[in-house]
Amino acid sequence: MKSLRVAILVVCASSLAFAGDPEFHTIVKSIEHTYGVHHLRIPFLGVAMFFARPSGVHGLKLAVFEGFHSPDDTEAVRRVVEHSLGPEWHPFVRVLSRGKQNGETTLIYTNPTGNRMRMMIVNLEPSEAVVVKMDLSDDAIEKWLKEPGEEAEGHRHHQKVRDEDKERDRDKEHDQQMLAKE
Amino acid sequence: MSTKIRKLFPIILLLVVPCVLRAQDIKLPPDIESLSAKAKETVEVNMDGPMLRWASKFLSKEDPEEKEAAKLVENLKSIYVRSYEFTDEKAYSTAEVESLRSQFRSPTWSRVVGVRSEHDGENVDVFFRMEDEKMAGIVIISAEPKELTFVNIVGPIEIDQLADLGGEFGIPRLKTRPPSSKPLAKADKGDQK
């Protein structure tokens, strides 16, 4: 019975990271439909994001698409994203880094309403795409308004650290499985 | 004026007026995108009217500089920033920057600042646009050997208010000096808040 309760908690927590947000859901579905990919179901993601969210950020939602092959023309992705988002979303920052193997594009849209700013970030790497939606606190908004380019760069850095952590976890899991087999 | 020209005049006017209006309404020069293709890194920042009015609420009311910036931002129509970083010093040509500058050499635009530094290869041009005898926009083109920044601020703004916006929304901070000294201004991206 205890294990059932734990399982329910895990399922609920991981779905918290995705559910209840039609705009986020639409954009994820559009990417899946257009590029024939599926976002990863990451166990404990909701719990992890609750404890390890960046400062000044809440309502964080994340979808990771592995095996996403970024097209040469990222304009096409931009069109897909903008078509999915409504007119109340404003293109705010776009960062493009060129490189044969490590080219990266970050598209950032904002939806300012009342005293809060919602932000949608789409990060495209050669073999992965990430969609993040978040609500920013006043302090975080100030930072973004002062240095939008720098903040976008910072977000990309955090993304890389998260990717490295994820890879390390996967390696650890793989090692444990190998040991168990032996 | 011959009768033929007089007859053609309305047609010429119809053809010319939209071109003039387009020239006055430049948000981004059409060929600026070609620089992105050569750049190692491109950063684009767009802020339109509603976003700017909303953003002005978040500039500190206690900091006098930010208070001034908030008042100014409320009335602006849009801000566009394009920043390109290149791997090599010769990634873009002087002709390409000159082509950018030339789009702001029209009766509606005036160049107020022009700095050419042979020492560090940093060149800054500031153009402003007049509309009904009032300043209606400012364009900054800052060209360094490995970096090029284009800023277009659309809306009522005075040249001395430009300093208030430096360091906000990705706009480079301009160090202004007394008119007697040369150079008149120096763009310093590294000295942002």
Q: Is residue B5 part of a domain?
A: no
Q: Is residue B8 part of a domain?
A: no
pLDDT of A16 strictly over 70: no
Q: Is residue B157 part of a domain?
A: yes
Judge whether B34 is closer than 8 Å to chain A, CB to CB.
no
pLDDT of A2 strictly over 60: no
Total of domains in chain B? 1
Sign of the dihedral defined by the CA atoms of residues B148, A82, A66, A151, in that order: positive
**What pLDDT does A130 receive?**
93
The residue whose two tokens read 């919602």 is A118
**What pLDDT does B25 receive?**
55
Q: Verify whether the Cβ–Cβ distance A96 to B41 is below 8 Å.
A: yes
Three state DSSP letters for B82-94: EEEECCCCCCCCH
**What pLDDT does B86 receive?**
94
* A45-54, A126-135, B25-34, B92-101: least confident range: A45-54
Q: Of A67, A87, A85, nearest to B48 (Cα)?
A: A87
| Across A27-53, average pLDDT | 79
* A16-20, B33-37, B75-79, B128-132: least confident range: A16-20
Q: With contacts defined as CB-CB under 8 Å, which chain A residues touch B39?
A: 96, 98
Please tell me the distance in Å from B124's CA to the nearest CA on chain A: 20
Burial B71-95 (b: 16+ CB within 10 A, else e): ebbbebebbbbbbbbbeeeebbeee
pLDDT band at A129 (very low <50, low <70, confident <90, very high): very high
pLDDT of B164 strictly over 70: yes
pLDDT of B36 strictly over 80: yes
| Across B168-187, average pLDDT | 53
Question: CA A162, CA A83: separation in Å to the nearest integer?
Answer: 28
Question: CA A91, CA B48: separation in Å to the nearest integer?
Answer: 9
| Across A112-141, average pLDDT | 86
Q: Is residue B16 part of a domain?
A: no
Q: Verify whether the Cβ–Cβ distance A112 to B54 is below 8 Å.
A: yes
Domain encompassing residue B75:
29-191
pLDDT band at A7 (very low <50, low <70, confident <90, very high): very low
**What pLDDT does B9 receive?**
46
Q: Is residue B186 part of a domain?
A: yes
Q: With contacts defined as CB-CB under 8 Å, which chain A residues touch B192?
A: 146-147
Q: Is residue B49 part of a domain?
A: yes
pLDDT band at B132 (very low <50, low <70, confident <90, very high): confident
Q: Verify whether the Cβ–Cβ distance A96 to B83 is below 8 Å.
A: no
Pairing of strands A90-97, B41-48: antiparallel
Please tell me the distance in Å from A146's CA to the nearest CA on chain B: 4
A25-38 pLDDT, tens digit per residue, is 999 999 999 988 99
pLDDT of A177 strictly over 80: no
pLDDT band at A173 (very low <50, low <70, confident <90, very high): low
Helix (H) or strand (E) run with residue A128 in it: strand A128-136
* B116-120, B134-138, B186-190: least confident range: B186-190
* Largest interatomic CA distance in chain B: 66
> Tokens standing for A67?
């095996």
Q: With contacts defined as CB-CB under 8 Å, which chain B residues touch A147?
A: 170, 192
**What pLDDT does A8 receive?**
45
**What pLDDT does A166 receive?**
57
> Tokens standing for B114?
């022009």
| Across A159-179, average pLDDT | 62
Q: Which residue has the higher pLDDT, A164 or A149?
A: A149
A131-148 pLDDT, tens digit per residue, is 999 888 777 777 777 777
Which of A94, A112, A146 minimises the CB distance to B44?
A94
Q: Verify whether the Cβ–Cβ distance A94 to B39 is below 8 Å.
A: no
**What pLDDT does B158 receive?**
78
pLDDT of B131 strictly over 70: yes
pLDDT of A122 strictly over 90: yes
Please tell me the distance in Å from B24's CA to the nearest CA on chain A: 23
Q: Which residue of A has its CA nearest to B189?
A: A147
Question: CA B141, CA B152: separation in Å to the nearest integer?
Answer: 9
Q: Which residue of B has its CA nearest to A138?
A: B58
pLDDT of B147 strictly over 60: yes
Which of A72, A78, A88, A98 has the most B C-beta neighbours within 10 Å, making it the best mutation to test the interface with B?
A: A98
**What pLDDT does A12 receive?**
42
pLDDT band at B116 (very low <50, low <70, confident <90, very high): confident
**What pLDDT does A51 receive?**
66
Q: Which residue has the higher pLDDT, A153 or B35?
A: B35
Q: With contacts defined as CB-CB under 8 Å, which chain A residues touch B83?
A: 149
pTM for this prediction: 0.71
A62-102 pLDDT, tens digit per residue, is 899 988 887 777 788 889 999 999 888 999 999 999 876 67
Which of B35, B45, B57 has the most A C-beta neighbours within 10 Å, making it the best mutation to test the interface with A?
A: B45
Decide if B137 contacts B129 (C-beta within 8 A).
Answer: yes
| Across B25-47, average pLDDT | 84
> Tokens standing for A98?
């060129």
Average pLDDT value over all residues in chain B: 76
